[in-house]
């Protein structure tokens, strides 16, 4: 038993010398990708109802909404921070506003300086939202202040 | 009495897969004493889970504790969080969780076996095992959408459904894998070259295994029938899908290999049973409750018993999360099993422990 098994392995190893490699030549040949691969997150601005639920549930914080002074929101997404867990798609109340495609995400390049740019963008987005909320609050307060003297009369 | 030498090994070493430091006291090439230092990769995950992330996001964070048993961690956390918010998950979600855990076990065990072969000096068997392992990675990608970091278990159920064509694909590939597995069992069991490095190396007896509280394939190879799948039925119905415990009596590297290989047959049977009898139901139980109280959960990861403890305080953020990884239970026995062995057989012994130190130090 011992001897036959030893020789079997030896001949198999010899035979393997003349076999094709089992690995794929990756950059030239595409590796296996299933139909529902967890790829890039897409966003449809026309369908979005701007509830920001995707931003709230996102574990790594790869989605953020900034807001200008008129109250219009803009969607920002960082493909290098995203973990492609599909939690935003599950949380979205409007179907199709945020969706996942099977296309693999593009790698981040050093030239993009993605972390630094994203961190400053994230902070600015939060600040812009706070500024709009503050403006709205002040306008509401002004309205009350203008109305109040009228009511008294 | 010969002269005693102290030989350090690690934290970076060619035969170590993870940062782990051993200090051996040797006498004429024989190890008479060993000490271990395992906490090299502390990442502060427990603290992050209790401060930065909401309890629903934590299942994705703990999935990053370990690359190999990602699904075990996220399932164990999901179960403990479900206990805190007091919900019962749908039946289909339970079965899908078991399916991915078993697929994960196949790829983890084959990785361990291949490294034992490599560290024993059998490079060709390492390549062969890795080649046969590839199918499990592709199946996991087809089921979860990713080769590693599955993000499959979420609080309340599972994230994705199993498509019928993916189920068929799994059955086909498993059928093909069975003959390959028979071939691997034959080589690991009967190969004479491998047996020189594996038989009677790193042996631990049953009494020591009980005394040192060993878990996982390490314990089962020493004849200790400990398996969480055999003990608990309340969270995942293991017996229903045909689980059987595998044990061996020798307790050496060869016995550990055999336990791992025979567990793969059990895993294949479980997966086939799950796909053939998958119940129809929803995937997620929705709830708006916040975690409250305390809970603990045990789950059988590929390396042994995984333990999760969580405490909630009726807010989005947990008050405490404690992870005890299987390797942590095995450290004492790892040191014990080295004694009396040749220094040259250390690489094979270390690989056969299947240490996961990123899990242990988190």
**Domain annotation for chain B: domains and CATH numbers:** 46-333 (1.10.645.10)
Do the chains contact at B192 and A2, CB–CB below 8 Å? yes
Looking at residue A148, what is its pLDDT? 65
Average pLDDT over residues A10-20: 84
SS percent in chain B: helix, strand, coil, step 5: 50, 15, 35
The residue among B332, B320, B262 whose CA lies nearest residue B293 is B320
> What is the DSSP pairing of strand B4-9 with strand A63-67?
unpaired
Asked if A90 is an interface residue toward chain B (Cβ–Cβ < 8 A), one would say yes
- CB of B275 closer than 8 Å to CB of B167: yes
Asked if B168 is an interface residue toward chain A (Cβ–Cβ < 8 A), one would say no
Query: Buried b vs exposed e over A118-150: b needs ≥16 C-beta within 10 Å?
Result: beeebeebeebbeebeeeeeeeeeeeeeeeeee
**Which pair of structure tokens corresponds to residue B212?**
């040192």
The residue whose two tokens read 């047959």 is: B265
Looking at residue A152, what is its pLDDT? 54
Is A114 a domain residue? yes
Is A96 a domain residue? yes
Asked if B259 is an interface residue toward chain A (Cβ–Cβ < 8 A), one would say no
In this prediction, what percent of chain A has a pLDDT beyond 90? Answer: 0
- With a threshold of 0.85, tell me whether the complex ipTM lies above it: no
Spell out which residues of chain B touch residue A21, defining contact as CB-CB under 8 Å: none
More confidently predicted of B136 and A113? B136
Residues of chain B short of pLDDT 50, as ranges, are: none
Q: Of the candidates B60, B166, B187, which has its C-beta nearest A85's C-beta?
A: B60
Asked if B161 is an interface residue toward chain A (Cβ–Cβ < 8 A), one would say no
Is A21 a domain residue? no
Task: Count up the domains in chain A and report the number.
Answer: 1
Q: How far is CA A73 from the centre of its chain?
A: 17
Asked if A83 is an interface residue toward chain B (Cβ–Cβ < 8 A), one would say yes
Looking at residue B75, what is its pLDDT? 92
Is A110 a domain residue? yes
Arithmetic mean of pLDDT over chain A:
82
More confidently predicted of A13 and A45? A45
**Which pair of structure tokens corresponds to residue B177?**
């894998």
> What is the DSSP pairing of strand A73-77 with strand A63-67?
antiparallel
Which residues make beta-bridge pairs with B29?
none
Q: Which of B54, B57, B129 to mutate to test the interface with A (most CBs of A within 10 A)?
A: B57
Say which CATH number the domain at A96 has. Answer: 3.30.70
Q: How far apart are CA B49 and CA B57, in angstroms?
A: 9
Q: At what angle do helices B123-144 and B164-190 cross, to 10 degrees?
A: 160
Is A42 a domain residue? yes
Q: Which of A5, A9, A14, A100 to mutate to test the interface with B (most CBs of B within 10 A)?
A: A9
Average pLDDT over residues A69-83: 84
Is A16 a domain residue? no
Average pLDDT over residues A69-97: 85
Question: In terms of residue numbers, what domain contains A60?
Answer: 34-142
Spell out which residues of chain B touch residue A32, defining contact as CB-CB under 8 Å: 138, 141
Looking at residue B241, what is its pLDDT? 86
Q: How far apart are CA B42 and CA B57, in angstroms?
A: 21
Looking at residue B229, what is its pLDDT? 83
Do the chains contact at B61 and A2, CB–CB below 8 Å? no
pLDDT at A147 over 80: no
Looking at residue B109, what is its pLDDT? 92
Q: How far apart are CA A85 and CA B159, in angstroms?
A: 9
Which residue stretches of B42-122 are H helix?
45-51, 58-62, 70-85, 91-119
Is A19 a domain residue? no
Q: At what angle do helices B346-353 and B253-276 cross, to 10 degrees?
A: 30
Element of type H or E holding B332: helix B326-338
Looking at residue A1, what is its pLDDT? 47
* Side-chain-facing half-sphere of B39: CA atoms under 13 Å: 6
More confidently predicted of A148 and B339? B339
- Confirm whether pTM is higher than 0.95: no
Is A151 a domain residue? no
Looking at residue A78, what is its pLDDT? 86
């Amino acid at each position: 038993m011992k001897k036959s098994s030893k020789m079997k392995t030896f001949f198999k190893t010899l035979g393997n010398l003349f076999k094709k490699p089992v690995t794929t030549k990756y950059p030239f040949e595409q590796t296996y990708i299933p139909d529902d691969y967890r790829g890039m997150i897409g966003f449809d601005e026309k369908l979005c109802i701007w509830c920001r639920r995707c931003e709230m549930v996102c574990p790594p914080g790869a989605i953020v909404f900034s807001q200008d002074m008129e109250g219009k929101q803009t969607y920002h997404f960082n493909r290098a921070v995203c973990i492609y867990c599909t939690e935003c798609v599950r949380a979205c109340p409007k179907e199709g506003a945020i969706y996942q495609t099977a296309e693999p995400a593009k790698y981040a390049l050093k030239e993009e300086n993605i972390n630094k740019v994203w961190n400053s963008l994230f902070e600015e987005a939060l600040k812009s939202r706070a500024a709009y909320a503050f403006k709205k609050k002040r306008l509401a307060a002004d309205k009350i202040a203008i109305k109040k003297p009228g009511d008294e009369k | 009495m010969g002269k005693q030498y102290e030989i350090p090994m690690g934290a970076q070493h060619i035969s170590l897969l993870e940062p782990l430091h051993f200090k051996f006291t040797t006498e004429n090439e024989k190890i008479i004493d060993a000490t271990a230092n395992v906490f090299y990769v502390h990442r502060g995950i427990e603290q992050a889970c209790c401060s930065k992330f909401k309890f629903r996001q934590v299942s994705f964070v703990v999935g990053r504790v370990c690359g190999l048993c990602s699904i075990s961690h996220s399932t164990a956390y999901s179960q403990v969080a479900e206990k805190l918010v007091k919900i019962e998950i749908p039946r289909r979600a339970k079965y899908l969780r078991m399916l991915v855990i078993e697929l994960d076990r196949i790829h983890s065990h084959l990785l361990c076996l291949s490294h034992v072969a490599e560290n024993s000096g059998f490079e060709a068997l390492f390549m062969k095992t890795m080649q046969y392992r590839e199918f499990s990675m592709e199946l996991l990608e087809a089921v979860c959408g990713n080769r590693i970091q599955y993000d499959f278990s979420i609080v309340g159920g599972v994230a994705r459904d199993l498509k019928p064509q993916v189920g068929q694909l799994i059955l086909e590939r498993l059928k093909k894998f069975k003959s390959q597995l028979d071939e691997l069992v034959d080589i690991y069991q009967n190969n004479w070259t491998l047996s020189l490095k594996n038989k009677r190396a790193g042996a631990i007896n049953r009494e020591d295994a009980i005394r040192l509280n060993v878990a996982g394939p390490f314990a089962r190879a020493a004849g200790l029938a400990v398996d969480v799948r055999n003990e608990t039925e309340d969270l995942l119905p293991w017996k229903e899908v045909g689980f059987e415990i595998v044990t061996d009596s020798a307790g050496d590297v060869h016995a550990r290999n055999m336990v791992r290989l025979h567990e793969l047959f059990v895993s294949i049977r479980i997966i086939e049973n799950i796909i053939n009898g998958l119940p129809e139901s929803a995937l997620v139980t929705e709830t708006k409750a916040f975690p409250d109280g305390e809970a603990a959960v045990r789950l059988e990861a590929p390396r042994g018993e995984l333990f999760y403890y969580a405490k909630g305080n009726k807010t989005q953020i947990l008050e405490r999360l404690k992870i005890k990884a299987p390797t942590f239970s095995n450290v004492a026995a790892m040191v014990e099993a080295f004694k009396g062995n040749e220094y040259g057989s250390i690489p094979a012994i270390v690989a056969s422990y299947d240490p996961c130190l990123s899990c242990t130090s988190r």
